Amino acid sequence: MLLPHHSFEKDADGICRVEFNSLVEMFNVGNSSGEARDKRNAKEADEQAGYSEYSGTRLAEVLKTFSDPPQDAIFKVEEIRAGVEGSSEQLVGRKRKRRYNLEDGDEPDPEQVVLRDPNCWELIEHKTVSKSVIRIGVNVALNAGGSKEKLMYRGGAVAALVDVLSASGHSVELVMFNCIAGVTEDGLTGVMKVYVKKADMPVDLPSITYALTTPGFYRTAVMAAEFRCWSSSLSGRWGWCCAIPEADQKDMDIVFDANITSKEAAIEAVSKYATAFTTH
């Protein structure tokens, strides 16, 4: 159902924005058949929601495949994850504390053993370091005819980083952006913001992987919701992808924009951020 707040509103910087609190909220708008702020956009939205020639994915099938993403998408995440220097064990922030004069422990103190002291054992305690919340923003905008591989490596990098940072004890908030310029007949630029994962939510890696790496999801869910939220008529070409505006980047700790398009760039980015936000 299309609610009053599901509408692009122009801000002081001239950019139009709309926000969704969850993927489910976005789904519901995308699947609102026949509805749109500008009725001329309803047909285009319905076509995207009903069927995508790009991937053959119907919106009704999207929810069913969230727990079982395509194997090529899973492979991209695993490929990036394996390419990151160091294992998750090395990236986990921990504090070590050595305790002495115990009746049992990891290793005995030689001097105390000679003195026949029963409290001769030492114990090393490992404690996970309390970590802060990290906000990650990813731009999933994809031009018409854009390479499937580019989106997969960009989304796969984010999914891999969420996995690494969560393993290190961080709470991660993940925000998906769809940034399109010239999308309407009057040349407006739109930024759609969707909360994929809030900081207090558990990591659902299959769902994150599917949402960020699958062109079919982008066409049937993201574009359908976007089209319904415009109060201006869409341009013939639906615009072109652009970078996340600086005003929106300021709220993020990490930003993955449209420049992540290869395996090498994905591994480099994940390694950089995993190191920057991890205590050894």
pLDDT in tens, the chain (280 residues): 888 899 999 999 999 999 999 988 998 898 888 999 999 999 999 988 875 444 555 555 655 555 555 666 666 677 776 766 543 444 444 444 555 455 565 566 656 545 566 665 565 554 544 557 899 999 999 776 666 788 888 999 999 999 889 888 889 999 999 999 999 999 999 999 999 999 888 888 888 888 898 888 888 889 999 999 999 999 988 899 999 999 999 999 999 997 788 888 888 989 889 888 765 4
Beta strands in the chain (DSSP E): 9-10, 16-20, 94-102, 107-108, 121-128, 133-139, 171-181, 190-197, 240-241, 254-256
Q: What whole-number distance in Å separates Cα of residue 223 and Cα of residue 140?
A: 11
pTM: 0.76
Q: Can you give the residue ranges of every domain in the chain?
A: 9-87+130-276, 95-128
Q: What confidence score (pLDDT) does residue 90 get? A: 40
Distance, CA of 15 to CA of 89 (rounded, Å) = 43
SS3 labels along 71-104: HHHHHHHHHHHHHCCCCHHHHCCEEEEEEEEECC
Task: State the pLDDT at residue 274.
Answer: 86
Residues 211, 217, 218, 222: is their CA dihedral positive or negative?
Answer: negative
Q: Return the pLDDT at 88.
A: 40
| Nearest CA among 178, 169, 188, 168 for reference residue 137 | 178
Count the residues in the chain: 280
pLDDT in the model for residue 277? 78
What is the predicted pLDDT for the residue at 218? 87
Give the pLDDT confidence score for residue 98 in this predicted structure.
53
Q: What is the pLDDT of residue 278?
A: 61
Residue from 140, 225, 224 nearest 180 by CA:
140
Q: In this predicted structure, what is the pLDDT of residue 280?
A: 44
The pLDDT, as a whole number, for residue 11 is: 97
* pLDDT at residue 91 in the model: 40
Distance from C-alpha of 14 to C-alpha of 189, rounded to nearest angstrom: 8
